[in-house]
Structure formats: structure tokens, C-alpha cells
Structure 1
Amino acid sequence: MKKIGIPSNNLLHPNSHFGTNYVDYIQKNYIDGITNAHALPIVLPIGDPKLAKNYIDSVDALVLAGGQDVSPFYFGEDPQINLHETDSDRDAFEVALVLEAIKQEKPILGICRGLQIVNVALGGTLYQDLNSQYQGLKVRHNQYPTKWYTPTHRLILKRVSWLQNFLDDQSLVNSFHHQAVKKLGDGLQLDAVSTDNVVEAFSDESRRIYAVQWHPEMLLMKHPEAQKLFDTFVLK
């Protein structure tokens, strides 16, 4: 059984349940996607980037989940006025994990923020806020309050890629993001866009890097066919 490392997120603010007893966590839907693909999820708590080698040594592949905005520090910009919350500890840890997984030639899957982290780790850039920075925006890329599991916009597949295993040009996906890829990182190839040309997926088969901007783990709640994305990745 393959072991899939999935870095955690963490609560950064006090709340009514935990107070200031901060916790690391990962949403159950990611775990479901991995276990349903007959792999073993290993949650990696946010830690010192120097531990990246030890963590990647212990797993067969890496899945990067959604969460906070990625700091513009990684692509040489100051924070734009509409930037949301960032987490420098999580950014540094996940970038280190991506680079170590590439070094060890282990597969990587990025989901939403995970796609963005992979992109900046490889020298790409991001729109810090689509609504104010992206010209020609026509699609609602944050569908809230529409339910997480509801597909809301169409994809356009740009080339023959790993996506053909489970998607076509009639496929709909969900959408919960306001940051997006601006310039692709080194060696990455564009696989899919939204109908307003926002990057929705990229890959690099030679390094077994795969990433999507939507949330297949949320779609699993009502659309079991979304499992095919996790199944395809675990076989890589």
C-alpha cells in the first residue's frame, strides 16, 4: 500500500472550541480521496522546512491541500490590498516539501492552494486577487455560498494529458479561490483553463507533478466520479 504524505493546515486564531490551544488538521475529504484509492494517508504537521527530507523519505507521494493565500514573497511582490490571510510557516514548509519530493522523484498532487504552492516553488507567479488584477474575468471563481460539492463552471482542456482519464470538455468543477496562476513555473505545462482562461490544471509528466485549481475532495461528497482523480494520481 502506497503511503501518501499530506501536509496539515493549522488554526492561527483563537476560537470558541479550542481557545488558544492551536491545532494542526486536515479536512476529512482529502483523507477519503486517498483511502478510497487504496493508499495510506500520512498527515505531516507543519514544521521546520529542514525536516522536509525526513518527511519525504517516509512517504511514496505528496498531496498538497487548500487553505490560506500564498505569500507574494515567493514571487517578488508586495502584498496587494486584496490579499487574504497568509501563513509564512505553512508556505515555507510546503515549498520545502515540494522541492524535496522533486529531488527524490516522488509524485506530487496539488489541489487549489496546493497548485499555487507548486507553481511558486518552481518559479511561477500568481494573481494575488483575481477580481482586481485579472483582465477579462467572467466566471465566478469563488462560488460560496453555493455548496462545496456543487459543480459550477466548465473546463476547457488544452492538450492531451492525465486529465483525459476522468474529464472531457463538458466536465464541470467547483470553485473556491481568488488567487490563481499568472505565470507557469519552470517545466509545467498547461492542461486546462476555465472559460475565461484562468489556469485550472497543469502537470509535468516527466517529474510526475499534477495540480488542479478546483476541489475534487469536496465533489466526492455528492459526485463519486471525482474519485477518479485520486485513483489516477495514486497509480502514478
Structure 2
Amino acid sequence: MIGISSGYVKLSEFSEGDYAHKDYISSLIKAGAVPLILPIVPGPSVDAYAALCDGFVLSGGCDVNPQFFDQDPTPGCGVFDTERDRAEFQLLQQAMKLGKPVFGICRGLQVINVALGGTLIQDIADEIDHPIQHTQKVSRKEGSHRVRIAKDSRLYQVLGEHEAIVVNSLHHQSVARLGDGLRAAAFAADGVVEAVDITEKGLIGVQWHPESMTAGGSELMLHLFEYFVSLSKEMKQVNAEI
């Protein structure tokens, strides 16, 4: 059972609630997991989620509040949800304490980085010289730009030893200073960090959206979910034997 952290969406005065994109669900099902969307609020419910699920996907969404990496918002910083930030930090902390894998996707990677003491580029267009397009204009199921993968990274092994791949891209923020225990595992052509290797075995983080490429038929991106689900099963067995 894999918990998916949710965001909050208000469509109208009559329609609002917790939200996770359907592609997370379909990708986890393809990888052999049972997905569970988690309404995220800080407090006892997060600890209960940590005990209930075998692994967690920290999903995409709004920006991380810059106060959590000791900065004020720049003009390019977007909407943030401080309550969600606190809840996901708590969920990550509890999952790591219990030895349960966490897969950070887009915002989820940024949450992991900040939780481990790292910082973020608040707006790539403002802070990077000659950036490529990181918020693509084609379907989220399609790749739009290349990333180079470090040969000595775990990601390189999981994705079948590809030195470069094409990924989709729907973000305007990215990793600046890496958090404790993190190492950059993939880069865009403009130097933006696109994935990290994490010394804690149960943590994975990518900046793109493999769930949507998987939903669009990418077998390569499915490997990421299969690896994560396999790791969750493995760690569940280890924890059961302790």
C-alpha cells in the first residue's frame, strides 16, 4: 500500500477538496501497488499514515514556503501552502524513522531537499542564465527536454544505464544547495538538477513527472515505479523481521 500526498484544489464555491493527479494512481497500479490518496494536515493523522502505508509518494504541486530554507519570497516565487509543507516534512521524517521508502516527484523532490537542509532556486527564469524551457507547452505525457544522468548514480542503474533521457518538465523551481546526504544524479542542459541520489536507501527524487509519462506508455519511466514498489515490499519484509 503506497500513500500519495495530496494538495488542495478549489474549483468553485461548490467544489473543493484534496487532490492528487490520476497518473500517480495509474502508475502505481501498473507497478503492482495499491495507491491511497492521503489528505495532508500536520498532526496525529500524518503519524497514522506513516504507520499504515508501506511507502509514500510526495506528489507535485505548489511551491515550498521559502521560510523553510531561511529566505524571503522573491518576485518569481509562486503560491505556497505552509500547512502542506509542515505535513510533508512530518511524513518524511516519520517514514525515514520507520524505514519506509519515499519517492519525491517534482515538488516532492524539493520537499525532500529542504527537509534535509537544502535550499531552492525560487524561480529558474530569474536565477539561471540562459535557461531552457522547464514548463513545457505540450502534453504532460510527452517528453520535452533531455537530462544527462551520472554514470555512478543509482538512477543510472534503475533506468537501464542510459546516459541521457528525454523527460517532461512542469516546474519553475529547482534544487539550489543540496540537502544533507543528497548528491545530484541528473542535470538539464542549463545545469538545473533534475534528480538526486540519496544515501538513505529508501529515498528517491526526480524533478520531472514520470507518473504522466508512464500513463502515456513509457516503459522506461515505469521502471522507476517498479523499483520504488519493489523497494517498499523489500523494506516491509525487513521491518516485519525486526
- Give TM-score scaled by structure 1 length: 0.91
- The equivalent residue for 1:231 is 226
Which residue of 171, 174, 192 maps to 2:186? 192
Which residue of 153, 158, 162 maps to 2:150? 158
Task: After TM superposition, list the pairs within 5 Å mapping 1:29-44 onto structure 2.
Answer: 29-44=23-38
- The equivalent residue for 1:73 is 67
- The equivalent residue for 1:111 is 105
- Separation in structure 2 between the aligned mates of residue 227 and residue 129 of structure 1, nearest angstrom: 29
- Separation in structure 1 between the aligned mates of residue 200 and residue 84 of structure 2, nearest angstrom: 27
- Separation in structure 2 between the aligned mates of residue 137 and residue 85 of structure 1, nearest angstrom: 24
CA RMSD of aligned residues (A): 1.5
Shift of 1:20: 4.7
- Separation in structure 1 between the aligned mates of residue 165 and residue 173 of structure 2, nearest angstrom: 22
SS in 2 for 1:175: coil
SS in 2 for 1:23: strand
- The equivalent residue for 1:173 is 167
Q: Deviations along 1:156-188, whole A, 9 cap, x unmatched?
A: 112423322225123100101000000111111
Bigger shift: residues 41-50 or 111-120:
41-50
State, as a whole percentage, how many aligned pairs show the same letter.
39
AA matched with 1:64: L
- The equivalent residue for 1:140 is 133
SS in 2 for 1:146: coil
AA matched with 2:180: D
Structure with a larger share of its residues in helix? 2
Which residue of 121, 126, 130 maps to 1:127? 121
Q: Deviations along 1:9-44, whole A, 9 cap, x unmatched?
A: 111x4x34xx25421121110001111111111211
- The equivalent residue for 1:221 is 215
Work out whether residues 130 and 137 of structure 1, in 8 Å CA contact, stay in contact via their aligned partners in 2: no
AA matched with 1:139: I
Shift of 1:192: 0.7
AA matched with 2:141: Y
SS in 1 for 2:185: strand
Work out whether residues 4 and 37 of structure 2, in 8 Å CA contact, stay in contact via their aligned partners in 1: yes
Which residue of 80, 85, 95 maps to 1:86? 80
AA matched with 2:8: N
- The equivalent residue for 1:10 is 8
AA matched with 1:230: F
SS in 2 for 1:206: coil
Work out whether residues 74 and 120 of structure 1, in 8 Å CA contact, stay in contact via their aligned partners in 2: yes
Which residue of 36, 61, 78 maps to 2:55? 61
SS in 1 for 2:112: helix
Q: Where does the alignment leave 5 or more consecutive residues of structure 1 unmatched?
A: none
Work out whether residues 147 and 165 of structure 2, in 8 Å CA contact, stay in contact via their aligned partners in 1: yes
- Separation in structure 2 between the aligned mates of residue 88 and residue 197 of structure 1, nearest angstrom: 28
Q: Cα gap change, 1:224/1:103 in structure 2, threshold over 3 Å: closer, same or farther?
A: same
